[in-house]
Amino acid sequence: MIKQLEVVRREHLKEKPDMATLGFGTVFTDYMLSMDYNPEQGWHNAVILPYQNIELSPAAQVLHYGQAVFEGMKAYRTGDEVRLFRPEENFRRMNQSNARLNMPEVDIDFMVDTLKQLVTLEKDWIPTGEGQSLYIRPFVIATEAYLGVRAATHYKLLIILSPVGAYYGSDHLLATKIYVEDEYVRAVRGGVGFAKVAGNYAASLMAQTRATELGYDQVLWLDGVEQRYVEEVGSMNIFFVIDGTVVTPELNGSILPGITRKSILELAQHLGYPVEERRISIDDVFEASQAGTLQEIFGSGTAAVIAPVGSVKYKDQELVVNNGQAGLVTLDLYNHYTGIQNGTEKDPFGWCVKL
């Protein structure tokens, strides 16, 4: 594991985009991090270099067998202060994903240090508007040119950066409508659902397309065995406020262990809300709605932060949550959470890493 980081400067910096109209994940900054792996040297050749296309053999295993994992996190800026949010958690999860796909693990401390250097260099790219941030995408791909099915010997890790606005457009606290998918399955225990691996997302597209066509914003996935228990939403974990308690499905091997999920659980407890991680069936949700105890639903994820859910469609039933509005618990958590991330509020957990 090499500890040195080379920096290759570019001659001309790009023009920055209009930060007022940022979308998600289309604009990239001036630099990226690149690092290579082979069995002899381990991870080596760590270099910050101008953002540019990469060259791959057409036989590179990532293109055939999907050995690819990624992470997503954000840097926030207030004035001159820049914060990363729990970056070591993302590299820890990356290692869990790597392990599941037989890929080499990274040195977490080295990655966090390297990321700090990269983000410091790209500080001017961090937008400061409401809901804006610098999205950070580390990923690892198998580069070996070999068509047999086995773990590759050569890999590349890259980190690319993209200034982003709110994930679901400007009105980020508008409640979303979710569609409970009862045919397609995202993941099953014994599979790779808990890992942030490329194939999980390709497998989710058809369901998302159907939900969109039917007029819904997002898919809510059920478990792969019984197709009864709530798992997660597109790229968010899911929370229910039932009778004052903040409930989220327990981690079961097929749900992605969201860092926002984990942090929200800690924050909610800190704020005095009772929390529960447990199995919850879609029938439980509809029964709670009928009984009048289902108060709020929201999704949690790095991209969307906290997204209130206004309605849930399952087979021929549809329930409306809190009159289709963001609820009080959702808003309370949202305000404290984004306050900590933006530095406008104290960070009692030590989550933020200042540059």
Indicate left, alpha or beta for 176 from its phi (over 0: left) and psi (-120 to 50: alpha): beta
Q: How far is Cα 111 from Cα 2, in angstroms, rounded to an integer?
A: 11
Q: What does 57 interact with, of ligand PLP, its own copies, none (CB < 5 to 8 A by kind)? A: its own copies
Site for its own copies in 28-67 (CB under 8 A): 28, 32, 51-59, 62-67
In the complex, the smallest distance separating the C-beta of residue 141 from its own copies, rounded to whole angstroms, is 5
Please report the sign of the dihedral spanned by the C-alpha atoms of residue 313, residue 190, residue 306, residue 158: negative
The reply to whether 237 sits near ligand PLP by the rule CB under 6 A is: yes
The reply to whether 125 sits near its own copies by the rule CB under 8 A is: no
Q: Are 293 and 242 in contact (CB under 8 A)?
A: yes
Q: Could you tell me which stretch among 109-117, 121-129, 205-213, 254-262 binds ligand PLP (CB under 6 A)?
A: 254-262
Closest CA to 111 of 37, 35, 40, 52: 35
Q: What does 131 interact with, of its own copies, ligand PLP, none (CB < 5 to 8 A by kind)? A: none
Contacting residue, 261, 268, 280, 309, with ligand PLP by CB under 6 A: 261
> With contacts defined by CB under 8 A, how many residues of the chain interact with its own copies?
66
Q: How far is Cα 247 from Cα 238, in angstroms, rounded to an integer?
A: 9
In the complex, the smallest distance separating the C-beta of residue 66 from its own copies, rounded to whole angstroms, is 3
Q: What does 258 interact with, of its own copies, ligand PLP, none (CB < 5 to 8 A by kind)? A: ligand PLP
125 versus 337: smaller Cβ distance to ligand PLP: 337
Q: How far is Cα 108 from Cα 140, in angstroms, rounded to an integer?
A: 14
The reply to whether 70 sits near its own copies by the rule CB under 8 A is: yes
Phi and psi at residue 344, to the nearest 5°: -85, -5
Q: What does 259 interact with, of ligand PLP, its own copies, none (CB < 5 to 8 A by kind)? A: ligand PLP
Please report the sign of the dihedral spanned by the C-alpha atoms of residue 136, residue 201, residue 139, residue 158: negative
The reply to whether 143 sits near ligand PLP by the rule CB under 6 A is: no
Q: How far is Cα 234 from Cα 255, in angstroms, rounded to an integer?
A: 11
The reply to whether 149 sits near its own copies by the rule CB under 8 A is: yes
In the complex, the smallest distance separating the C-beta of residue 193 from its own copies, rounded to whole angstroms, is 10
Q: How far is Cα 280 from Cα 198, in angstroms, rounded to an integer?
A: 27
Q: Could you tell me which stretch among 82-90, 107-115, 189-197, 331-339 binds its own copies (CB under 8 A)?
A: 189-197
Q: Are 180 and 48 in contact (CB under 8 A)?
A: no
Site for its own copies in 217-256 (CB under 8 A): 224-225, 227, 234-235
Q: Are 294 and 321 in contact (CB under 8 A)?
A: yes
